[in-house]
């Protein structure tokens, strides 16, 4: 019907060729317009579809809300169901089809089985403290980490192994936290009321760093950086809604 092959055979499989990519881009655009037309027709009725999104803490405070607002403008009759929760739960629900996508740090190998990941940006894990904390004036703050109460991400959190590797790299393989949380509400209060220091994704405490209520302690280590993006089940069917929301996330970066 199209007069040109869309795939090249590679071994036992097929790979989209240039003609296929061109057709795919036009077909995707057509599907978007069809969805918008459906939304307009549904405006006076009660027809809605739903997109279920899991969000990890690093994306929950800024990226996800901005993308959600853009998505609402693009597809006003799609209900956006947003779920937060621990890493293992969200990725289990992604694999079983309860969630359409998960937004956050790239999962470790075990959690990411059966999942594809699209990177949006690179983000640091930061060590934060309250303003006026003594460690801020120290020339080598990493040497003084054992002298303060430490808040670490719990086992199973996406950044847990990142922080563990960093502590091993500075000679603190047995360092344990007095508290374990990635909750902004809990961690922020503990740090604000004490000399505790907290390893947490920058995205979780971005507003607090910007307004000066929490301050990052200067550590220089590439071990504390990692990709943030979109995780999708490899078995998930094509979805226009998911594609539009992914574009909204990319635009919100």
> Which residues constitute the domain of residue 36?
12-121+227-252
Kindly state whether residue 50 falls inside one of the protein's structural domains: yes
Average pLDDT over residues 206-221: 94
Single out the residue of 159, 131, 123, 128 nearest to residue 141, CA to CA. 128
Indicate if 43 and 164 belong to the same structural domain. no
Residue 192: which CATH number? 3.40.190.10
Average pLDDT over residues 47-71: 92
| Model pLDDT, residue 5 | 73
Locus of tokens 């317009």: 33
pLDDT beyond 90 at 200: yes
pLDDT beyond 60 at 32: no
Indicate if 152 and 212 belong to the same structural domain. yes
Task: Rank 16-20, 187-191, 225-229 by mean pLDDT and report only the highest.
Answer: 187-191
Indicate if 98 and 22 belong to the same structural domain. yes
pLDDT beyond 80 at 85: yes
- Tens-digit pLDDT profile for residues 126-158: 999 999 999 999 999 999 999 999 999 998 888
Greater confidence (175 vs 45) lies with: 175
Indicate if 101 and 136 belong to the same structural domain. no
Residue 238's pLDDT band, with cuts at 50, 70 and 90, is confident
CB 173 within 8 A of CB 167: yes
Average pLDDT over residues 35-60: 72
- Neighbour tally for 60: CB within 10 Å: 18
- Neighbour tally for 92: CB within 10 Å: 15
Kindly state whether residue 191 falls inside one of the protein's structural domains: yes
- Lowest mean pLDDT, pick from 4-18, 41-55, 208-222, 228-242: 4-18
Kindly state whether residue 19 falls inside one of the protein's structural domains: yes
Kindly state whether residue 132 falls inside one of the protein's structural domains: yes
Kindly state whether residue 148 falls inside one of the protein's structural domains: yes
Distances (CA, A) of 29 to 24, 35, 113: 9, 10, 31
Kindly state whether residue 106 falls inside one of the protein's structural domains: yes
| Model pLDDT, residue 204 | 95
Indicate if 234 and 115 belong to the same structural domain. yes
Residue 64's pLDDT band, with cuts at 50, 70 and 90, is very high
Locus of tokens 């509400």: 185
Indicate if 168 and 179 belong to the same structural domain. yes
Average pLDDT over residues 207-225: 91
Kindly state whether residue 146 falls inside one of the protein's structural domains: yes
Q: Where are the alpha helices (DSSP H) in the chain?
A: 18-42, 57-60, 63-74, 87-95, 160-169, 184-192, 206-211, 240-252
Indicate if 176 and 235 belong to the same structural domain. no
Sign, CA dihedral 80-84-87-91, equals negative
Single out the residue of 140, 141, 165 nearest to residue 152, CA to CA. 165
Indicate if 17 and 117 belong to the same structural domain. yes
Distances (CA, A) of 68 to 36, 59, 74, 253: 17, 12, 10, 13
Average pLDDT over residues 102-129: 88
Residue 157 DSSP code: S
Kindly state whether residue 1 falls inside one of the protein's structural domains: no
Separation between Cα atoms, residue 93 and residue 47, nearest integer Å: 25
What values do phi and psi take at 173, rounded to 5? -65, -25
- Tens-digit pLDDT profile for residues 183-199: 999 999 999 999 999 99
Indicate if 148 and 204 belong to the same structural domain. yes
Indicate if 164 and 236 belong to the same structural domain. no
Number of domains present in the structure of the chain: 2
| Model pLDDT, residue 63 | 95
111-139 CB burial, b ≥16 within 10 A, e <16? bbeebebeebeebbbbbbbbeebebeeee
Indicate if 116 and 52 belong to the same structural domain. yes
Indicate if 221 and 127 belong to the same structural domain. yes
| Model pLDDT, residue 107 | 82
CB 87 within 8 A of CB 47: no
CB 103 within 8 A of CB 249: yes
């Amino acid at each position: 019907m199209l007069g040109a092959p869309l795939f090249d055979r590679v071994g036992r499989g097929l790979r989209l060729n240039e003609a296929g990519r061109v057709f795919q881009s036009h077909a995707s655009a057509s599907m978007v317009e069809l969805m918008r037309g459906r939304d307009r027709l549904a405006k006076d009725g009660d027809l809605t579809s739903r997109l279920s999104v899991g969000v990890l803490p690093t994306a929950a405070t800024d990226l996800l809300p901005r993308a959600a607002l853009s998505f609402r403008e693009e597809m006003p009759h799609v209900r956006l169901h947003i779920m937060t929760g621990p890493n293992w739960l969200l990725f289990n629900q992604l694999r079983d089809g309860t969630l359409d996508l998960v937004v956050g740090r790239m999962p470790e190998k075990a959690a990411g089985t059966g999942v594809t990941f699209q990177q949006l940006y690179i983000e640091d894990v930061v060590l934060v403290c309250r303003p006026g904390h003594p460690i801020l004036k120290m020339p080598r703050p990493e040497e003084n980490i054992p002298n303060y109460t430490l808040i670490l991400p719990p086992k199973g959190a996406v950044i847990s192994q990142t922080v563990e590797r960093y502590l091993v790299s500075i000679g603190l393989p047995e360092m344990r936290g007095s508290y374990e949380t990635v909750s902004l509400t809990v961690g922020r209060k503990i740090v604000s009321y004490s000399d505790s220091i907290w390893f947490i994704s920058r995205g979780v405490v971005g507003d607090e760093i910007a307004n000066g209520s929490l301050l990052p302690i200067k550590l220089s280590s590439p071990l504390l950086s990692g990709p943030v993006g979109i995780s999708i089940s490899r078995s998930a069917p094509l979805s226009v809604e998911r594609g539009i929301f992914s574009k909204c996330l990319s635009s919100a970066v």
